[in-house]
Amino acid sequence: MMAELDEDGQVDFKAKAKAFCRTYEFLASVLPYNNADWEKLSIFLNFLVPKLPAPREEDLSKGLLEAIDMDSYRAEKRASVKLALPDADAEIEPVPTEGGGRKPEPELDRLSNILRQFNDLFGNIPWTDADRVRRLVTEEIPNEVAADARDQNAKRQGDQQNARIEHDQALKRVVVALLNDDTELFRQFTENESFRRWLADSVFALTYER
């Protein structure tokens, strides 16, 4: 099949095969098993993708070292400076006694930081309704995760590591529930690793201390 495709077609097929494997692996972890054909296709593609050829790319670094005169970039010793303390009596100031701590960051400030990070990191994604996505990541999704019974129970135990594990599972369940109404956010969560990691960290920061 790959031999019948041109190079662009081969690249497109390989990308779609990888996307299917990632999406199915995620769905299989949160949904009951009920589709044998998808499972067979996932197993087949997981074995096939590593064997697919990578596109041929021109080596842009060829001849680069020969074109640079490395002798002109050698390190040189320019000067030596001797540092010494003056031979004189001196006094050492006492250690300050004022407290160095500060109040925990208010939730309003944390929300502002999350919104700023969202705009900086993912504002260039062509969201159909960016305002709705912002509301989802700062209000609706954190509220749904915080209301999850298993997530609440894990946080009551006081073990942050176990709480984070249960939180991430609750977040997956919440995002899967958004599949029909917010496919853009679901697709970013399943296919964009940096978005998925950022959303998990942000929602955990908003919900852990509640």
Are 148 and 173 within 8 A, CB to CB?
Answer: yes
**Domain range list for the chain:** 2-51, 107-207
- pLDDT on residue 60: 54
Of 27-36, 148-157, 197-206, minimum mean pLDDT range: 27-36
What pLDDT, in 10s, does the model give residues 113-127? 889 999 999 989 999
Alpha carbon distance 186, 197 (integer Å): 13
Q: Which two tokens stand for residue 159?
A: 């073990």
Question: With pLDDT > 90 as the criterion, what percentage of the chain qualifies?
Answer: 30
Q: What does the mean pLDDT of the chain come to? A: 78
DSSP reduced 3-state for 158: coil
Contacts of 163 (CB under 8 A, 6+ apart): 151, 154, 155, 157, 208
Does residue 56 register a pLDDT over 70? no
Q: By C-alpha distance, which of 175, 165, 170, 209 is closest to 195? A: 175
Find where tokens 């209301």 sit: 147
What pLDDT, in 10s, does the model give residues 189-200? 999 999 999 999
- pLDDT on residue 4: 72
